[in-house]
Amino acid sequence: MFRQTVHSLLTAGWRGPVVVLDNSSGHETSADDSLLRSGVEVLRTTGSLNFAQLQNVAASIAVERGLEYFFCAHPGVLVLGPDANTSFAAAAERCVERWDASQPDWGLIFFGSDRLMAVRVKAAADVHWDVFVPQYRADCDFYQSLKVSGWGLLHCDAGRIVSAWQKLEVPYGNHTAAAAVLDEHARAGVADGYAISAARAAARSPEAKVAWAMQMRTSIEYYQYKWRMDECDMPDGHLPWQAE
C-alpha cells in the first residue's frame, strides 16, 4: 500500500520532489531501488521515531531547505485531481495561493481532513510538535498549539483524496475510471480499514500490545491534562481519526 501511495503522489504533478522519511526499523525503504529509480528522495531517520518526533524532523528539513511550505501526506493516501485537465497538485497549489492572498497567517491547510496537508514552514518552526504526546492526540495538540500562537487552520478541496486499506489498481491516465475506483473504495473502505487495523492489532505480540496501549493512554491523558479538554478542533469539523 505504501508503494501505491508513492505512485499516486508521483502522478499528482508536484513541482518539487516526493520525499519519503524512512522511519522503518530496518530502513527497508532506503534499500528499495525501485523507489529511487522513480525519482523519489528517501531520507533515513536516525532511529525509530514516534509520530511527533517524525513531524519535527520533517519541519527541520523544510527549514534547512528554505521552503515556504510543504505538503505532508499519510502513508495510505491516494489522490486525484478535480478533473481530467487539473492535477491534484495544481489544485492544491492554487488553494495555497488563494489563502496566502486572503489569510497570510495560515499555519496548516487541510485536504481531506489531515490525510494530506500543506504546512507553513514558519509556523512549524515557531510551534513544534510536543514529543510528550507521542501517538494519539499528537496532531490535536499541534493544531491547538498553532491556534493559540496565532496561526490559522484552514481547509481546501483539491480533488479526491482517500485512505487506501488494500491494494488498488487505479488507472490514473483515465480520470473518469480512476475517480470511479477511488469513489467505490471510499464508500466501502472505512469498514474494511477498521477490520484490517483490528487484525493488525490482534497480530501484535503481548509485549507490543502493552507498549502500544501505554503510549495511547499516555498521549490521551497528557493531552487532556495540558488542554483541559478532549476535543480536537478541525476546520472542517472532522476529527483526524474520524471516518467520513
Domain membership flag for residue 238: no
Mean pLDDT for 76-104 is: 96
Domain membership flag for residue 132: yes
C-alpha cell at 183: 469513489
Domain membership flag for residue 127: yes
C-alpha cell at 1: 500500500
Helix or strand holding residue 73 (H, E) = strand 69-73
Domain membership flag for residue 237: no
Mapped onto helix, strand or coil, the DSSP state of residue 201 is: helix
* Averaged pLDDT score across all residues of the chain: 87
- In which order are the strands placed within the sheet that holds 116-120? 69-73, 116-120, 106-111, 152-155
Question: What pLDDT, in 10s, does the model give residues 7-58?
Answer: 999 999 998 899 999 887 776 676 677 777 788 898 988 888 888 999 999 9
Mean pLDDT for 130-151 is: 92
Supply the CATH number for residue 87's domain.
3.90.550
What is this structure's pTM?
A: 0.88
Domain membership flag for residue 153: yes
Domain membership flag for residue 115: yes
Question: What pLDDT, in 10s, does the model give residues 147-191?
Answer: 999 999 999 999 999 988 788 999 999 999 999 999 998 887 655
Looking at residue 233, its pLDDT comes to: 66
Domain count, the chain: 1
Tell me which residue of 155, 149, 151 sits closest to 96, measured CA to CA.
155
Show the domain range for 144.
Answer: 2-227
Please, which pLDDT band fits residue 106 given cuts at 50, 70 and 90? very high
Domain membership flag for residue 83: yes
Which one is predicted more confidently, 197 or 121? 121
H helix intervals, 149-205: 175-203
Domain membership flag for residue 243: no
Tell me which residue of 133, 121, 139, 120 sits closest to 219, measured CA to CA.
133
**69: which strand partners?**
120
